[in-house]
């Protein structure tokens, strides 16, 4: 195991923009897919691609919806954006926060409710703070919910 901290640039697939590999459950089998490095996209296409602040993408609580862009790695199947709900997070072997979740859209390949992960902050192209607050934190005065409200 290395002692370095990996970044999105460490993971590249055949696409022009970097993707890192992750796993998703389809029909009770785990398949490898690619998640787009959205930080690369925002940096290289700032007029047409924007993402939430890094602090928001690095503090997504369980239950919040986040959006990713996936390369299915299947010929003639286009890249696709979809929402997933964060079910857990952990720090990987090299110190990166990794999210795990379930799909909250039916997709071309995987159904609603499919499990996936790890998903890194550099893969998150959107978060739905308003939906989370409406479902979980309306009027909550705990430090975590207050932090989310301030970030929104």
Stretch (H or E) spanning 89: strand 80-91
Tell me the mean pLDDT in the region 110-131. Answer: 90
DSSP code for 90: E
Band of residue 19 on the pLDDT scale cut at 50, 70, 90: confident
| Res. 31: pLDDT tops 70 | yes
* 8 A C-beta contact, residue 65 and residue 128: yes
- Reported as a single tens digit per residue, the pLDDT across 40-91 is 888 888 888 888 889 899 989 998 999 999 999 899 999 999 999 999 999 9
pLDDT the model gives residue 66: 95
Q: Which residue has the higher pLDDT, 7 or 22?
A: 22
In angstroms, rounded to a whole number, what is the distance separating the alpha carbons of residues 40 and 37? Answer: 6
Q: What is the pTM of this model?
A: 0.75
Band of residue 2 on the pLDDT scale cut at 50, 70, 90: very low
pLDDT the model gives residue 1: 28
Q: Cα 67 to the chain's mean position, in Å?
A: 6
What tokens does 118 get? 């790890």
């Amino acid at each position: 195991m290395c002692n370095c901290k990996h970044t999105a640039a460490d993971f590249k697939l055949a696409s022009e923009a970097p993707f890192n590999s992750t796993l998703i459950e389809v029909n009770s089998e785990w398949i490898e897919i690619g998640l787009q490095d959205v930080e690369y996209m925002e940096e290289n296409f700032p007029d047409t691609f924007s993402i939430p602040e890094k602090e928001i993408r690095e503090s997504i609580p369980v239950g919040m919806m986040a959006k990713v862009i996936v390369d299915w790695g299947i010929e003639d199947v286009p890249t696709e954006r979809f929402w997933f709900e964060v079910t857990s997070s952990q720090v990987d072997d090299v110190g990166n926060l990794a999210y795990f979740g379930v799909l909250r859209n039916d997709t071309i390949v995987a159904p609603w409710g499919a499990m996936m992960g790890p998903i890194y902050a550099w893969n998150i192209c959107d978060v739905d703070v308003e939906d989370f607050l409406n479902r979980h934190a309306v009027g909550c005065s705990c430090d975590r919910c207050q932090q989310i409200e301030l970030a929104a």
